[in-house]
Amino acid sequence: MNTSPTSINTRRESFADGLTLRFDERENSGRPILILHGGGGPQTVAGLAAGLSRAHILVPTHPGFGGEPRPEWFDSIDDLAFAYLELLERLNLRDVLVIG
């Protein structure tokens, strides 16, 4: 039986409002976990993501971090929350644990 974790893939999703979200995803059968980084960028949560090798993880790069564009209108935590809700809906993920 092969129990090695699946690889992490970098994906992008674009939305009608001009926002594009980049995120790393590892699809496994475990509960989905959305891991949000702080001001230090996504590399600050890489170890946590690696340690959750059996979970379905998503590690997005917030708009404006890591060279990712941030639309002018995107200027609040509400915008960030709604963007990730829209991403989770698009990916058809439910019962998502959020860390960060």
The pLDDT value given to residue 7: 86
Domains of the chain: 11-99 (3.40.50.1820)
Q: pLDDT (tens digit, 9 = 90+) per residue, 29-79?
A: 889 999 999 999 999 999 999 999 889 999 999 999 999 999 999 999 999
Q: How far is CA 6 from CA 31, 32, 45, in A?
A: 15, 14, 18
What stretch of H or E contains 4?
A: none
pLDDT tier, 1 (very low <50, low <70, confident <90, very high otherwise): very low
CB atoms within 10 A of CB 24: 18
